[in-house]
Amino acid sequence: MNERAEKPDVSVIIASVESAHSIARCIESVTVALTGLRSEVVVVDASSDASASIAVNALGSAAVMRRPVGTLTPELWAVGIARSTAPVVVLSTGHFTMQPSWIRSLVAGLRDGQTGVAGRIDLAEETTITDWAVFYLRYSEFLREPGGVQKGVAGIPADNAAYDGEAIRRFVTAADDGFWEVEFHRQVHASGGSLAMVSGATARYGRSFPFRTIAAHRFRHGRHSGAWRVARKIRSVPAVVLASPLVPFALAARTWRRVRSTTGHRSRFLRALPQFLALASLWAVGEAVGALSGAPASRRTAPVPA
């Protein structure tokens, strides 16, 4: 974090879960993109590997916060958001690297009157089949570069997004269990706000989780989603439970429609399909469990001693 007397213009919150393969490149690319800006960078880590130590070496211990292994990314983001002070809060994870124009493109989009803006997400080189499965499950919707500012979109990927700082801090304080992007985006639209995709802000997804880690996280994310849908009366318990066997195949079909026209992505998706379906199945089972029994307890308030 930059040690300056002035309030920063931008707070960048990096959630880190088993990021040892990529966190150094992530921090380096963020630092380059922030050149010339008053900024603070905070890494909130919940890893069993060396991610936190690598982040401390790059940023200093004051910029790295620890939480228990198993803490979900939205809970890590919430810890960093609560600490942030800037009028613009940018979110990512330790598995991404950003292009040099990244931060300025995001900030320019917010100045255009949006509550939240995001850039496209692409797949980096030197990634594994597990990385491909996670990428296509989470980010295939955001593969295409928008022309300029594409306003009025329903949702944006929080993993590569900038938000109005006051709005996002209010949400985290009220929610008290994490920054769940779908919930926040619904509130933005309900209050008359707008979300947008912008050009020039690409983030590339690199080496990421071991399969067992992302499998556990997909189940817990799904459980939160199922509990939330039922609590908000978006779906009924029977509807969530009965639909769960079809969810993995519906997600695979939707992703195939997005990637089939691009040779590289098409071949990677087909090779990753067994792991994709396994992760999607864990999400679906989690949704059913959440619909029936509620969300898992949050771990965001339990710091790990340095």
Contact 156, 298 (CB under 8 A): no
Give residue 1's pLDDT: 44
pLDDT at 199 over 70: yes
Provide the 3-class DSSP secondary structure of residue 12. strand
Domain span(s) for CATH 3.90.550.10 in the chain: 10-205
- In whole numbers, what is the pLDDT of the chain averaged over residues? 93
State the pLDDT at residue 3: 46
**How would residue 302 be classed by pLDDT, with cut points 50, 70 and 90?**
low
Q: Is the pLDDT of residue 5 over 80?
A: no
Kindly state the DSSP code that residue 67 receives in the 8-state scheme: -
Helix or strand run (H / E) with residue 44: strand 39-45
Q: Which residue has the higher pLDDT, 232 or 30?
A: 30
Give the pLDDT confidence of 140-158 residue by residue, as tens digits.
Answer: 999 999 888 899 999 999 9
Contact 198, 118 (CB under 8 A): yes
CATH class of 10-205: alpha beta
Strand order in the sheet with 96-98: 96-98, 203-205, 121-123
The model's pLDDT over 155-183, given as tens digits with 9 standing for 90+, comes to 999 999 999 999 999 999 987 789 999 99
What whole-number distance in Å separates Cα of residue 172 and Cα of residue 195? Answer: 18
* Whether pLDDT at 107 is above 90: yes
Q: Return the pLDDT at 296.
A: 73
pLDDT recorded at residue 174:
85
Better pLDDT: 49 or 4: 49
Separation between Cα atoms, residue 276 and residue 229, nearest integer Å: 23
Task: Grade residue 2 by pLDDT with cuts at 50, 70 and 90.
Answer: very low
> For 219-273, what is each residue's pLDDT tens digit?
999 999 999 999 989 999 999 999 999 999 999 999 999 999 988 999 999 999 9
Q: Which of 108-112, 131-135, 253-257 has the lowest mean pLDDT?
A: 108-112
Q: DSSP code of 62?
A: G
Q: What is the pLDDT of residue 15?
A: 98
Residue pair 289/223 in contact (Cβ under 8 Å)? The answer is: yes
